[in-house]
Amino acid sequence: MIEALNFLIKSEIANTSSRKEIAMSLNDAMLKAYIFLKNNDGASGIEYAIIAAMVAVVLAVFIPDISSSITSIFTSIKNELSSAANPA
């Protein structure tokens, strides 16, 4: 990540001519890097998915009648993820 940021800064400096433009470019690059590193949108969705999966496992253990349907749902999800990861 640091190497990419250094490359971005060097390329911004190469494309500018005055010190003021360089300072503004550095500030802009640092702001973009900060926003990228602080973005947590995907993490929240993953956390909710993990919680939902744990609840489903607990339900499957304590309520055997729905165990087969939960197993089929997880099998379907596994198959879809496998096919998405390995397109033909």
Which residue stretches of the chain are H helix? 2-14, 19-38, 41-62, 67-85
Would you say 67 and 60 are in contact if contact means Cβ atoms under 8 Å apart?
yes
pLDDT in tens, 30-52: 787 777 777 766 667 778 888 88
* pLDDT at residue 78 tops 80: yes
C-alpha 11/C-alpha 65 separation (Å) is 62
* pLDDT at residue 75 tops 80: yes
Q: Cα 36 to the chain's mean position, in Å?
A: 11
Closest CA to 22 of 30, 33, 14, 31: 14
